[in-house]
Structure 1
Amino acid sequence: MKVWAVANQKGGVGKTTTSLALAGLIADTRRRVLIIDLDPHGSMTSYFGYDPDNLEHSLYDLFVQQGEMPDGLAASVLHPTSHEHIQLLPSSPALATLERQISTQGGQGMVIGRALAQLWDQFDYAIIDSPPLLGLLMVNALAACQHLVIPVQTEFLALKGLERMVGTVDMINRSRRQALPYTIVPTMFDRRTQASLQTLRILRNTYPDELWHAYVPIDTRLRDASKAGEVPSRFDPQGRGVAAYRALLKHLLGLPAKSQVA
C-alpha cells in the first residue's frame, strides 16, 4: 500500500479537495483506494453523504481501545462511497475530544499506522485528510504516511501556515529513522490577482526543491463536485482543476524512489 497524507496547519487551503481529487484519479484506474478523514469537522465524511454526528462506527472507535487494535476492528469501520473503488474511514466530532481524553496513553500516535497494517492487503493506496491543527490526529497522519502533500492557498496569509507546517515536519523528522519527504502544492491560484502571482513567486523562491512546479487554479467545478458527492474526476473529467490534479498525481508518482510510497 502507498500512503500519502494531506496536511497544513491552516484551514481553507484545499486539503480535502486535494485528498478527494487525488483519490478519485487513482481510483479511476481501478486501484483500490482508502481515504481517511482525520478532521473532526468531517468534511470528507459529509462529502460522501454521511452525517458525522450520527455514524454508528467511525475512526473514534480506533482511538478508544487503550492502545490495542483488535483484529478486524479497522475493517469494521470502513464505509462505501460513491466511487466503487474508494472506501472511507469516516470522521466523528468526538475525535476533537481525544487530546484531553487519552493523549497521555502510550502508543496513541500510532493508531492510524496500526489500522493501516490491518488493511494493508485490501488497498493499493491510502490518502489521509488531516485536521489543520498540530496535535494527536496530525501526529498520527505524519507517523503513518510515506509522503506528505501540503496544499497552500496562493495568498499571503497562507504563507505563515505553511511555515509552521514545514517547521512541524522538521520536528517530526528528528524522531524518524528516515526523513518524511513532502511536496508543497499551490492551490486556488488566480492569475488575475497580484496576491496570487506574488505568493507563487515567494513560494518558488523560498521552497525551490519541495514546491510542485505548477498550481491548482480556482475552479468552481471542484466546489460543485462536493455538492454532488462525486469525486472531481467523475463530476467534471475535463475541468481545469481536475487537469491540474492529474498533473500533480503524475508528478507525485514520478518522484525519486526515496520520496515515493513503497
Structure 2
Amino acid sequence: MSKVIAICNQKGGVGKTTTAASLSADLAMEGKKVLAIDMDPQADLSTCLGFARTDSLETTVSDMMTKAINDEAFSWREGLLESKDGVYLLPANLDLSAMEMNLVRTMNRERVLKGYVDKVKKNFDFVIIDCMPSLGMITVNALSAADSVIIPVQSHYLPAKGMEQLLKTVGKVQKYVNPSLKVDGVLMTLVDERTTFASEVSEMIRQMYPRLRIYTNQISMRIKAAETSAMGVSIFQYEPKSEVARAYAGLAKEVIGDAAREKAKVHFRDCR
C-alpha cells in the first residue's frame, strides 16, 4: 500500500522544497521506493534532485497530466528521472504554468493529477508531491491526489498565522474533492536554536489548532541546507552528518512509522 504525501504551504521560503527533496532522499535511503513529483513551474525540486536544465527535458509532469486528461496509455516509468539518492522524479518546468490555464477548460479538472498518480503509485511505497507556493488549481490537484499533507512552517509568528488560509483550502478539498485527505502534521523549519521563539510559535500553533500534530523533529536554520539546492544534491549527499540531515532522517522515520500504523489499521479492518 503506497502513501501519497503533499508538501504544501502557500507561503514561499519556508523550506518546502528542501523538505520534499530531503524526505524523498532519506525514504529512498531507508529502502523505500519513492516517486517525487515536482508541481511547481519554477522546478526547484527538480533542481534540488540534480536536474537543473528542465527546459530541455522531453517529458515533464505537464505532459503526463495531458496524457491523463486525454486518457492515453502510459507506463509507470515514462518520463521519470532517477536522482543520485535513488529517488524517481517526475520533473516540472514552465509548461506547468500553461497547464494551470488549460485546466480551466478541462472536465474534472481538480482530479487530473490524481488520474496520473492512481495509475503509477502501486509501483512505489511513497509518492511525495512538492506543491507550488500558491493555492491555485495546480495545488488543488496535488491535494486531490494526496492521502495526506505535511505543512512546513517557518518558526516565526506571521508564517504560522498564515496557516489558516491553507487549512481552509484543505478543508474545501476534503469536502468537495478528496474526503479521505488528512493533515499528517506541521514541520517547524528554519528554527533558530539561539532563541526560544520556535517553542513559542509551536505553542501558539497548538493553541490555535489543538488537533494538529507537530513533528518531533525540527529543521534548524543552517546555510548548508540552502546550499544543497544550488549544488543539485540532497543534504545526505552534501553533508550527511549535519544537524539538518539528522533532523530530516528523523522526520523520515516518523513518516515511515505513520504509514506502517495506517497500513496495520487497514489490514485489521479488512480482516474483521
TM-score w.r.t. the length of structure 1 is: 0.89
Q: What's the counterpart of residue 253 of structure 2?
A: 250
CA contact (8 A) 2:146 2:181 kept: no
Q: CA deviation at 1:205?
A: 2.5
CA contact (8 A) 1:148 1:181 kept: yes
Q: Which amino acid aligns with 1:239?
A: S
CA contact (8 A) 2:68 2:115 kept: no
How large is the RMSD of aligned CA atoms in angstroms? Answer: 2.4
Please tell me whether residue 201 in structure 1 is matched to residue 206 in structure 2: no
Q: Equivalent of 2:223, from 217, 220, 223?
A: 220
Output aligned runs, 1:1-262, within 5 Å.
1-47=2-48, 48-65=50-67, 67-72=69-74, 75-83=77-85, 85-175=86-176, 176-193=178-195, 195-210=197-212, 211-255=214-258, 256-257=261-262
CA contact (8 A) 2:60 2:90 kept: yes
Q: CA deviation at 1:119?
A: 1.8
Q: CA deviation at 1:139?
A: 1.0
Q: How big is each residue's C-alpha offset from its partner over 1:207-236, in whole Å with a ceiling of 9 and x where there is no partner?
A: 343222442111222123223322212322
SS at the partner of 2:149? strand
Q: How big is each residue's C-alpha offset from its partner over 1:157-185, in whole Å with a ceiling of 9 and x where there is no partner?
A: 21233121111111212123334233111
Q: What's the counterpart of residue 270 of structure 2?
A: none
- In structure 2, stretches of 5+ residues that fail to align are 268-272
CA separation in 1, counterparts of 2:91 and 2:73? 19
CA separation in 2, counterparts of 1:257 and 1:24? 22
TM-score w.r.t. the length of structure 2 is: 0.86
CA contact (8 A) 2:14 2:152 kept: yes
CA separation in 2, counterparts of 1:66 and 1:227? 32
CA separation in 2, counterparts of 1:259 and 1:20? 27
Q: CA deviation at 1:191?
A: 2.5
Q: Which amino acid aligns with 1:117?
A: D
Q: Which amino acid aligns with 1:99?
A: E
Change (3 A) 1:234 1:260: farther
- In structure 1, stretches of 5+ residues that fail to align are none
Q: Which amino acid aligns with 1:46?
A: T
